[in-house]
């Protein structure tokens, strides 16, 4: 995949929003765009919600960057100067 352009989607939002809902909707949209079967990434969705809850404590905002590829999708979460990456492959 060295000659394939990398694509990513970053979402930045206030923790006062329904963070878990926003991230779930964003992930669903990305799966639809990239034609990824949602059944393949069930654990990623659960992990994403858990990590967002943990990283967003006392954060002025949270960023989630989704990076889909041919057989993997990763999500980098950023808040309060902290960063976590979770991913799944199929």
Q: What is the pLDDT, as a whole number, of residue 75?
A: 93
Spatial contact of 62 and 15, defined as CB atoms under 8 Å apart: yes
Question: What are the residue ranges spanned by the domains of the chain?
Answer: 9-89
Q: What is the pLDDT, as a whole number, of residue 15?
A: 66
Per DSSP, the three-state class of 47 is helix
Q: What is the pLDDT, as a whole number, of residue 78?
A: 94
3-28 tens-digit pLDDT: 445 678 888 877 677 766 777 788 88
Q: Is 41's pLDDT higher than 70?
A: yes
Q: From residue 81, how far is each of 31, 43, 62, 63 by CA, in Å?
A: 28, 25, 10, 11
In degrees and rounded to multiples of 5, residue 29 shows phi and psi of -65, -45
In degrees and rounded to multiples of 5, residue 20 shows phi and psi of -65, -40
52-76 tens-digit pLDDT: 888 888 889 889 999 998 889 999 9
Q: Does domain 9-89 have CATH number 3.30.565.10?
A: yes
Residue 18 CB-density burial (10 A; 0-12 exposed, 13-18 middle, 19+ buried): exposed
């Amino acid at each position: 995949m060295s000659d394939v352009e990398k694509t990513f989607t970053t979402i930045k939002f206030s923790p006062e929003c329904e963070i878990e809902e926003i991230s779930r909707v964003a992930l669903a949209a990305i799966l639809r765009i990239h034609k990824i079967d949602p059944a393949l990434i069930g654990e990623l969705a659960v992990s994403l919600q858990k990590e967002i809850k943990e990283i967003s404590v006392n954060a002025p905002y949270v960023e989630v960057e989704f990076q889909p590829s041919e057989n993997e999708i990763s999500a980098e979460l950023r808040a309060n100067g902290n960063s976590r990456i979770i991913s799944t492959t199929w």
